[in-house]
C-alpha cells in the first residue's frame, strides 16, 4: 500500500513524515527523488540541461537546483517544461517504491496540483492554518518567497476532496506525533 502525504507549504508534511518514519514506516520524498534524478548521469540531467542551458550548471557539472528553481518558479512556461521532463521519471520511481514495499509513504507537496493522487492507494492531507504555515515557511524562505510559493498551491478545499486521512497540525508537535502513531498503527493492519 502506498500512502501519499500532501499539504500546503509550511503545513508540517516533513515533520509528520519524520514521525511516521520513527514508527518504522519507509518514507520517501518526491522532492528528494526529483533532486536525485537531476544529478549528473541520472535520467533527468541531460534533458534538463538541454532544455535550460549550461547556465544552470555548477562548475562540477552538477545542476544548481537554486539556479534552476530561480528560473522555473518565475516563469510558468519554464516550470511546465521542467515538470514535463521530471514528473514522469518521479512517478516511475514512486511506482518502483510501491512495488518494493508492502507499505510505504511518499511526501509530495504538489500531489493534487499535478493529479498524482491517482498513483496512491491512500492520501493524507496535513492541514495548518495559513498564518501558521506562512510563519513556518518564512523561517526557511523569507516572507515574500513563502507567500509567493503559497499562492502557487491549491487551496485546502481542493486537496481535501482526495483525502482519506486529515492530519491537523494546528496544535503542538506532540499532537502531530500522536496522529502519526495512530495512522502508522492503522496502516499496518490494513
Q: Binding site membership for ATP: which residues?
A: 10-15
Query: Given CA atoms 74, 78, 82, 83 in this order, what sign does their dihedral have?
Result: positive
Number of other residues whose CB lies within 10 A of the CB of residue 74: 10
Residues in the chain: 190
Amino acid at each position: 500500500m502506498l500512502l501519499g502525504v500532501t499539504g500546503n507549504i509550511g503545513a508540517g508534511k516533513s515533520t509528520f513524515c519524520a514521525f511516521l518514519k520513527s514508527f518504522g514506516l519507509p518514507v520517501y520524498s518526491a522532492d528528494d527523488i526529483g533532486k536525485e534524478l537531476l544529478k549528473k548521469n541520472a535520467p533527468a540531467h541531460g534533458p534538463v540541461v538541454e532544455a535550460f542551458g549550461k547556465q544552470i550548471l555548477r562548475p562540477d557539472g552538477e545542476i544548481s537546483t537554486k539556479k534552476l528553481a530561480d528560473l522555473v518558479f518565475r516563469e510558468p512556461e519554464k516550470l511546465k517544461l521542467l515538470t514535463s521532463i521530471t514528473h514522469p521519471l518521479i512517478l516511475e520511481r514512486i511506482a518502483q517504491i510501491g512495488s518494493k514495499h508492502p507499505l510505504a509513504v511518499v511526501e509530495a507537496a504538489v500531489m493534487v496540483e499535478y493529479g498524482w493522487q491517482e498513483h496512491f492507494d491512500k492520501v493524507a492531507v496535513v492541514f495548518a492554518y495559513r498564518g501558521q504555515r506562512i510563519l513556518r515557511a518564512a523561517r526557511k524562505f523569507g516572507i515574500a518567497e513563502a507567500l509567493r510559493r503559497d499562492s502557487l498551491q491549491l487551496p485546502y478545499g481542493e486537496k481535501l476532496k482526495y483525502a482519506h486521512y486529515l492530519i491537523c497540525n494546528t496544535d503542538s508537535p506532540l499532537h502531530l506525533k500522536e496522529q502519526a502513531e495512530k495512522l502508522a498503527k492503522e496502516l499496518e493492519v490494513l
